[in-house]
Structure 1
């Protein structure tokens, strides 16, 4: 994979961790910039325009989840890859982070080898050819190039993973997508998430769409109907 031109912002309040991560990513050919807290991370994101951001969850002046939530609310950063760096290993923390729009987690203490592997894997995923065709599922229109969802003429704002999940279901209306299949295609095989993560995202999509078009096939998966 060609890393040339890929920019990564690393935000953490521990200087040693910033140095370790930045050093190992630069060795891989990435351009890096560091920030020591959440406010600085937001400021440097707007200036640096990174392709990927590594956010420590527990930072002063806005924690990592607050930074992620702020960025995901801005259209310019819907597609920016976000990875949480955290010592919190409980499932609830991971689910919350994924709800806010994180693409992956890296646990502390940091393993440079795992970190580089995860970053490379995330870039490989977005470099794979995607179906950019506008999809129509009943009165739902999905434009993957513009990152727009319309219900009739009403625009619906979805988080990145919510959009990807709805788009996946809409590629084949009526077909049941298995839970393992959804996890693999939306979060990738290298990201460890549970069934609850899918359920939370489906619930939020239903609420935002305001129509009952996603059907739960108990014990199997989900499908979208027209």
Structure 2
């Protein structure tokens, strides 16, 4: 599925390059009348992953006459579950977690065709997540374990995208990006028996660089 999406993005880019010359035809869209945009990333839905995210854009013309947009996006995730071995009296594991991610940014746009816009820009993102994992073993030689995990991250993303307008009010776009991200994670483990208990806290700090050939496929409504 991912290979098909990459091929789709590649073909989309080639089509845009084919229309890279300026055109005198009137555009299908008019951001002076449809300044607001709300979009849903459908790539996670196609890929079967979770969660997806929403993005709001506010279009305007800069003092230099350039088409620009401010961006505000985010996602919220939650999961709750219990897992148990099929054998009678098997081990039981309870899981639950919550997370959210928000980002703000700015993009600059270039019209290539009455229906096609190219754009680029940067996003600054913030995220937080926590999870709770409780393991109850059936084997008396194993200890019950509780694990709590919290994580916070901050990152910057440079992106490049192409948008195709299906009509004045609807469009579809695809983005590729590179992100540098710093994450702080704290893991707390607790084990308890009738005779003793033990606690352990682990902290991890990570700085990473991530390249996303297909960061998002967005379906947008302009109003």
Structure 2 length normalisation: TM-score?
0.24
In terms of fraction of residues, the more helix-rich structure is: 1
Pick 1 or 2: higher relative contact order, CA cutoff 8 A, min separation 6.
Answer: 2
**Bigger Cα Rg:** 2
In terms of fraction of residues, the more strand-rich structure is: 2
Structure 1 length normalisation: TM-score?
0.24
